[in-house]
Amino acid sequence: MTSIPPGSWLGLLGGGQLGRMFCMAAQSLGYRVAVLDPAADGPAASVADRHIHADYLDAAGLARLAALASAATTEFENVPAAALEFLSASARVTPAAASVAIAQDRISEKTFLSGHGFGVAPYKVLRTSEDAASVDPALLPGIVKSARLGYDGKGQIRVSSVAGIGAAFARMGGVPCVLERFVDLACEVSVIVARDDSGASVTWPVAENRHRDGILDVSIAPARVDDALADRARGIATGVARALDYRGVLCVEMFVTRGGEILVNEMAPRPHNSGHYTIDACATSQFEQQARVLAGLPLGDTMQHTPAVMVNVLGDAWFDGPQAAGPRDPDWTRVLAHPLAKLHLYGKHEPRRGRKMGHVTCLGATLADAIATARAVKLDLGIPGADELA
């Protein structure tokens, strides 16, 4: 394709923080961004050049987006694949609706991954209560996960008996689920990969991810795994993107087992929270790369120039922490007092516990320095787990 030059309009479906950071990166390259978002004043709409306030399947809204932008992408994996298909009739769309559809459903995702030879945690698809009642006990203890619309640990119930699986399936309302065996984790890692129209792909260094209550808490980059394991993880991400014939930025989240196996947990057809460190620590961020692939520009270099630890800031920081009881704004001056702490706030008006409000990327001359700053930032904001961060 001929590339879409800076100055042109790019379209975006979804208006959350990933969209906000996409807008900023694309605008920095000189593009104008039109965001279609059903919310009135989401994080992306407030920085977009134009906000089309419409539902994802609103034909008039999609037509307005297509009339303005010759290329469109998504920041929200649960955007209806039909919206991407609609746009692709008149605009370039990356990633393709088919790739997004696979990642939207844990059953199709696992079927796809295992069908292409990628390791996944042992699982069974649960569509009926009979399926739930006839699970091989070797899959226990496990986790019942709803096939669709689960994120940040939502739509997941831990189970330790066959009776418990039936109860969990019923609690999910009988929607299609997968039961996954609980994996003995050494650590969790993710790799962001970008792939262009020619099939060329690049990966960023592996991120080591720590979760709290099912939500990403901290990403450490580069991950403290040996080089061979990091190469394998990057190779898996590249392989998944190739198998999907993917265009755009894709995150592949993986479990590293104590036995040294790498299992793919899930994939996100968009930039990912665990790749936020790339904004401050790499030559090209995941968001700039999303704009580059969308516009048909050459891929940017993914070199990491500075060790980094990304700390997520949830709404809890408005309620807890070293200051008086909330909700009240955290004392950002404490965070900003660290010269290598890079604060990113998403402009969300309503802090809620568990809601992603921002993140802080802590840089350092060494990873140990970055970790020390991340620990201090956690204490500044009253985010639990400073002591465990080593």
> Using the rule CB under 6 A, which residue among 45, 48, 143, 218 binds ligand AMP?
143
Q: Which residues of 90-117 are buried (b: 16+ CB within 10 A; e: fewer)?
A: ebbbbbbbebbbbbbbbbebbbbbeeee
Position of minimal CB gap to ligand AMP:
183
Cβ proximity to ligand AMP, 145 vs 234, nearer residue = 145
3-state secondary structure of 376: helix
CA separation for the pair 169, 347 (Å, rounded): 37
- To ligand AMP, the closest distance from the beta carbon of 121 in angstroms equals 4
Separation between Cα atoms, residue 199 and residue 246, nearest integer Å: 8
Contact with ligand AMP (CB under 6 A) among 49, 182, 243, 352:
182
| Single residue of 38, 153, 164, 176 touching ligand AMP by CB under 6 A | 153
Residues linked to residue 304 through DSSP beta bridges, in sequence order: 282
One of 116, 211, 258, 305 touching ligand AMP (CB under 6 A):
211
Question: What is the rounded distance in angstroms from the CA atom of residue 248 to the CA atom of residue 316?
Answer: 33
**Residues in contact with ligand AMP, shown as a per-residue x/- string from 299 to 338 under the rule CB under 6 A:** ----------------------------------------
Q: Does 188 bind ligand AMP (CB under 6 A)?
A: yes
Residue 208 CB, nearest distance to ligand AMP (Å)? 12
CA–CA distance, 383 with 377 (Å, rounded to integer)? 8
Tokens of residue 387, six digits: 């002591």
Burial 128-158 (b: 16+ CB within 10 A, else e): eeebbeebeeebbebbbbbbeebebeebbbe
267 binds ligand AMP (CB under 6 A): no
Q: Is 371 in the site for ligand AMP (CB under 6 A)?
A: no
Q: Which of 190, 201, 265, 273 binds ligand AMP (CB under 6 A)?
A: 265
Binding of ligand AMP by 268 (CB under 6 A) = no
φ, ψ for residue 112, nearest 5 deg: -65, -50
Nearest residue (CB) to ligand AMP, 104 versus 265? 265
> Contact letters (x/-) for ligand AMP, 68-107, by CB under 6 A?
----------------------------------------
Only segment of 20-28, 80-88, 142-150, 366-374 that touches ligand AMP (CB under 6 A)? 142-150
CA angle (117 as vertex; 111, 118 as ends), nearest 5: 80
Report in angstroms how near the CB of residue 25 gets to ligand AMP at its nearest. Answer: 25
3-class SS at 163?
Answer: helix
The nearest distance, CB 140 to ligand AMP, in angstroms, is 11
Site for ligand AMP contains 185 (CB under 6 A): yes
Q: Does 214 bind ligand AMP (CB under 6 A)?
A: yes
Site for ligand AMP in 11-70 (CB under 6 A): none
- Shortest Cβ 196–ligand AMP spacing (Å): 27
Residue from 75, 77, 217, 266 in contact with ligand AMP (CB under 6 A): 266
Please give the Cα distance from 125 to 138 (Å, whole number): 15
Of 49, 39, 40, nearest to 11 by C-alpha is 49
Of the pair 153, 300, the CB lying nearest ligand AMP is at: 153
| Residue 207 burial (10 A CB sphere; 0-12, 13-18, 19+) | buried
Strands 71-74 and 92-93: parallel
Alpha carbons 176 and 105: distance in angstroms, whole number: 10
CA distance 160 to 132: 13
Residue 121 binds to ligand AMP (criterion: CB under 6 A): yes
* Cα atoms found within 13 Å of the Cα of residue 390, Cβ hemisphere only: 2
Residues forming the site for ligand AMP (CB under 6 A) = 121, 143, 145, 150, 153, 180, 182-183, 185, 188, 211, 214, 253, 265-266
